[in-house]
Chain A
């Protein structure tokens, strides 16, 4: 069977005058099976976020191609949910309406939005409850803390049951406790629904805690230089010796990248 996401020989240069053009990604190839949880780690500025934009179709590659679910990505694709480093909520909508936003746009939900609004709202409320936001649905995003907004943003990324979840350092700006709580929340949601996840992060503990495969990205122009599978059983204990060994291993790998 073909992998669900296939990135083959993708390069991307951001336009600039002559020599000023920056090559963000250089010949990246990755295959991701359906239902897998993949993390891409690397030093900042290595083009990790660009990789996600290529997979979601927000950018098109300069060279190479991306195939998602048997189809070549030629523009923004609709089967993805995306969560960004900042929650990016619409301030004029309540938290509930923010979470419902994808259902107003993505088919087949959008066509039946008016008739099914009640059912959709219940689904959204259930999801909000799952991430610990029970009772905050009618608040506006700016009335919530950063961590709460990020939880809501996760709900928004998942409400339309996307086949592919793209996470661009979504926990980077949170405090350690909230971050680790959300790891568990995300893992449980993934365990229950088995969507495919690509998580971009610079937090190695986060990568090892969540992913079954960790890819290490070189510094700019980004290339995948190493891939490790994580075979620790869930729930993972970040203080277990094997876990720590794995993180240290990755750390050494990244240090080589930075030194190179």
Chain B
């Protein structure tokens, strides 16, 4: 009974929030082009379902492509940083500097290089999301307990074996934690790029809707992005649970 009740909580919470929003809009007679009521957003969503779906699909594909790149390159970079002092010393400051650059500023450069379309979006998604992956994997490797290493070293294991048998499995929880952050960041990256320079995608749709003062459609776009983000997050949360069950044995600190 309690478990069932707990599963309902997020839905109740969201429902309550939407109801509050709807009521507030009606009570204070907020004009729709400023803040549309949820029911108007829903109407816009159903009325323009076909273009919304096709544009979301574009966004989703670009996000996943950029994210996949980020997982591969970010993972490799994390392994390199975490397992080599030299790479850590040389690359880490560069990475931090690089991550401090606002990605919106880079999009126009990508457009000059690759033109308007999918490539700048994929690259921006990649740029925004690879940093947490690299840092987390590196942290996972750097914090392997020396006792665990001693077990392997006392067997005469080579560095590569230590990495495979202890380093990588030990950093999986860090890796998965970063994936959940990175996938939502990847959406942000794609949409930034589509907003600045796109010819399709949810970001582009929202820009076009804003130009027409079609605020309900803008909000419909925001909703779609939020839902996509939650779905992707949930997928990785399930994957994390399957792969790193050994790292989460208790209830943690939650009360």
Contact = CB atoms under 8 A, between A and B. Distances in A.
B156 A84 contact: no
B157 interface: yes
Contacts of A76: 153-157
Interface in B144-177: 145, 147-148, 150-157, 161, 165-166, 169-170, 172
B155 A90 contact: no
A101 interface: yes
A106 B246 contact: no
A88 B148 CA distance: 6
B249 interface: yes
A153 B170 CA distance: 19
A140 interface: yes
B50 interface: no
Interface residues of A, number: 22
A88 B154 contact: no
Nearest to B173: A92
B12 interface: no
Contacts of B165: 90, 101, 104-105
Interface string A98-110: 0001101110000
A82 B246 contact: no
A80 B155 CA distance: 7
A84 B146 CA distance: 13
Contacts of B157: 76, 105
Contacts, number: 56
A interface majority secondary structure? loop
Contacts of B3: none
A92 B145 CA distance: 14
B155 A105 contact: yes
A78 interface: yes
Contact of B156 (A77, A90, A104, A140): A77
Contacts of B170: 92
A65 B170 CA distance: 35
Contacts of B246: 91-92, 140, 142
Interface in A65-100: 76-78, 80, 82, 84, 86, 88, 90-92
Contacts of A101: 151, 155, 165
Those 7 A-B pairs whose CB atoms lie nearest each other, nearest first: A78-B156, A82-B154, A91-B246, A92-B246, A105-B155, A105-B157, A92-B169
Given A76-B155, A140-B246, 9 more contacts: A56-B154, A76-B154, A82-B151, A92-B246, A104-B161, A104-B165, A105-B155, A160-B155, A166-B154
30 contacts: A58-B150, A58-B153, A58-B154, A76-B154, A76-B157, A77-B156, A78-B155, A82-B154, A84-B147, A84-B150, A84-B151, A88-B145, A88-B148, A90-B148, A90-B169, A92-B169, A92-B172, A92-B244, A92-B246, A92-B247, A101-B165, A104-B161, A104-B165, A105-B152, A105-B161, A106-B155, A140-B246, A142-B246, A160-B155, A166-B154
